[in-house]
Amino acid sequence: MKFYKSLILTLLFSSSLFSQSKEALEIKNLYWGDNDTQKNNVDIPVEWENESAVILYQEYFYDYHKYGKKVKYINAIRKRVKLLDNASIKEYSEFSFVKSFRVARGYWGKKGKKHLGIKIIKPDGTEKEIEIDKEAVETDNYNEYKIAISGLEVGDIIDYYSYTIEPFKQKSGYTFKSIERPLIDIYPTKEFVLRFNTENDFFINFNTYNGAPKLKEIETDKSNDRRYVLKANNLKKSEFPRWSAPFKELPFFKFQVIFARNGSYENSIFDFLSDDEKDIKKSVSKEDVLKLYDNHYGIFKYYDKAQSKYFKDKKLSNEELVMELYYYLRHHHRNQFIQPVIIRESDIVFNSFHHYGTRISFIDTNYKFIKAFASTLIDKEIPFDVIVTKNRDDGDIEDLLFSSEMNTILRVNLDTPLYISIFDSHSTLSSMNPLIESSKAYALSYSYEKKRLDAVEEITIPSSSYVDNESLEELNVNLKEDFSGIKINRMSKHTGHNKTFKQEDLLYFFDFLDEEYSKGKTKNFFERLKNKKNKIKAKKEYDALVEKLKKKQKEHFKKTVESEYDMGIENHTFEFHEMGRYSGDSSFAFKDEFEINEGLIKKAGPNYIIQIGKLIGGQVDITEKERTREENIYFRNPRSYRNVIKLTIPEGYKVVGLDKLKKTIDNPTGAFISSAEIDGDILTITTSKAYKNNFEPNANWNSILDFLDAAYQFTNEKILLKKG
């Protein structure tokens, strides 16, 4: 889980000022001075004595204030941890940070400051403060430094803070990045504190979930000074196991602060604000969502004359028009510009877009895509809804609090409703974000009579099935004459979400741009160049870049295959057979050949043992620790995998051990089924594995383990090639 990695292990600190300046000393005194309430916090509850570590105190601090035209944002963390075994000592034995940074906020970026303090408290009470400016060592990465914390022992307490100050200028307003954080850590926590301060012109959206304590306001002497605190004690730990969703089950808080110096900015911002800046907004209703979208999406007009002209006299059914519209937008407003972007960024031709005319319409945001798509739907009076939802593992739609949580998609109301949720270089009309499948959502209906979004209802977005998201691999396997290895000829076909993943991983722009320009009936970059000399020079540099990237692609593909089989391969070649970029039903297919020369064959007298099970690729190995589980199971999406392995049996040998290759585990959560048969000199092994649902309650964990264990066990199965 991305979020908890920031709470443990290596911490990313930026610091432009390590020396003990007046400001640095004031901050150190804030945490470690005479008024430090935590200096005597050294004891842990008896029930936690066998833990790897205990967090004695953890505090997050956020401060938002304005000074004339300037705004200052402060965020800080302090953590005090008692180390109880060598594993936790290893976790806290190194800190990483960058020395300086530029504030990327507002209109004028200024230099930010981060102050870092680390000290070690021994069991006898002696303290050692780490001299960061002396002990930091620069790494090979730009501006990155590391500090090794030596001498840590079981029973030590490590106490550290990071204090960030980010000043910037802002005349009208600014939306700060939302913050979402669980109270739970991988170690039990004795005390957790959140503090944040704001003042006039700062709007706050804040709430807690899954049993987390409520935020409390602290009274102050100044009417424009607002301070808040949240406290929790004796928090259990979480292992954050694979396929868990902490924001669905663990106590957490989330908030966002919006600075609005005047009412015009309040009205223009695409987010949810309380009616009064003094009031914290704790929830967002479906009516709030309807109002926000109706105000900001307006009449949905996307002013592109070429698009309007292209579809004006088209005599197509609604289904045909929607399909053509999608691929028209994907090419004319996105993919035809891939080449000039690469040419410009590679310094081949600086002004590459000059050759595309003066009105370049590039769709680079979801907002633009919806406006562009809906504009033609409206022209053709095709009914549609705007759908607003959240990622399934990030909480329910009822917990929506700010716009950065929202996924906005279109539902075109054809005979069979069509959900359009992805718009990128390879996406098809039916491509769906797997994280929003099965999620609750708000459907905002567009009224042709009122020419606006005028109604909202709650719906559930449908889900794909494991049959829709399939990977099929057909392997023809031949042993080398001297039995030193095997040669594999493989055809791979991927559909649904499995296709999307493979396309993003393996395809480069040069694999599909020729098809793009052909189907889009537009000129590529070099066909637009009129100066012959410039064209020859640019094409030569471009071809050299492509050749360089092809070598990179080849190496990446090889490493991908090695990762799939968890062993080295040699002599890898590949070719793409079907791109699968113009139909949701089509597959992404490729053929590759390679050799595996180590790890599969073992000589046993005149016979040979073949680890045939490894040819289905690596499988999930559930550790003993993972087998006890409290959390529910959240898979990314239902999916399935099939393997057909055809092994040519060497002349003079027969196969022994087929019974172990025949397994059947099939239950409502998933399946692993395998079979093996011999026809002439061909041994055919067929396996299928399915994750049937995207969610399973914890009560079904053992059923999941049944098919996962069966698949993993299969990778350990062997056959014997017996002489004679």
Q: What is the secondary structure of 424-466 as a DSSP string? A: SSS--TT---GGGTT-EEEEEEEETTTTEEEEEEEEE-----T
**What's the gap between Cα 356 and its chain centre?**
34
Retrieve residue 187's tokens: 């170690």
Q: Between 21 and 466, where is the model more confident?
A: 466
- pLDDT, residue 101, reads 63
In this predicted model, what pLDDT tens digit does every residue of 605-657 receive, in sequence order? Answer: 999 999 999 999 999 999 999 999 999 999 999 999 999 999 999 999 999 99
For 300-316, how does the pLDDT look when each residue is reduced to its tens digit (9 = 90+)? 776 688 898 899 888 99
Q: Are strands 252-260 and 384-389 parallel, antiparallel or unpaired?
A: unpaired
Supply the pLDDT for residue 100: 61
Fold of 470-502+546-723: Jelly Rolls (2.60.120)
If you ran DSSP here, which 8-state letter would residue 393 be given? G
Higher pLDDT, 333 or 139: 333
Fold exhibited by the domain 2-282: Immunoglobulin-like (2.60.40)
CA distances from 313 to 318, 380, 722 (A): 13, 10, 72
The token pair at 432 is 């769906």
d(CA 684, CA 679): 8
pLDDT in tens, 102-135: 666 655 556 788 888 999 999 999 999 999 888 8
- The residues with which 82 forms a beta bridge, in sequence order, are 54, 157
The confidence band for 44, taking pLDDT boundaries of 50, 70 and 90, is very high
Closest CA to 678 of 702, 701, 655, 708: 655
Q: Which pLDDT does position 526 carry in this prediction?
A: 96
Section 661-683 average pLDDT: 98
For residue 620, the model assigns a pLDDT of: 97
Which residues contact residue 528 at a Cβ distance below 8 angstroms, ignoring those fewer than 6 apart? 355, 356
Distance separating alpha carbons of residues 555 and 532, to the nearest angstrom: 35
Instruction: Dump pLDDT digits (tens) for 528-582.
Output: 999 999 999 999 999 999 999 999 999 999 999 999 999 999 999 999 999 999 9
Q: How far apart are the first and last CA of the chain?
A: 54
pLDDT at 262: 83
**pTM of the entire predicted model:** 0.91
What would the pLDDT profile of 332-360 be if each residue is shown by its tens digit? Answer: 999 999 999 999 999 999 899 988 887 78
Percentage, residues of the chain above pLDDT 90: 83
Q: How confident is the model at residue 370 (pLDDT cuts 50, 70, 90)?
A: very high
Question: What does R_g of the chain's alpha carbons equal in angstroms?
Answer: 30
pLDDT recorded at residue 103 = 67
Helix (H/G/I), strand (E/B), else coil: 247 = helix
Distance from C-alpha of 632 to C-alpha of 54, rounded to nearest angstrom: 25
**DSSP secondary structure letter of residue 281:** B
Which tokens is 408 given?
A: 């906005």
pLDDT for the residue numbered 137: 86
Residue-level pLDDT at 267: 87
17: left (phi over 0), alpha (psi -120 to 50) or beta: beta
Helix (H) or strand (E) holding 552: helix 532-565
CB 613, CB 717: distance < 8 Å: yes
| Amino acid at the residue 628 | T
pLDDT at 68 exceeding the cut of 70: yes
Which 8-state DSSP code applies to residue 606? T
Q: With 90 as the cut, is the pLDDT of residue 192 above it? A: yes
Residues near 297 by beta carbon (within 8 Å), at least 6 away in sequence = 367, 370, 371, 374, 386, 453
> Which sequence spans correspond to the domains of the chain?
2-282, 305-460, 470-502+546-723
What's the rounded Cα separation, in Å, for the pair 296 and 266?
A: 12
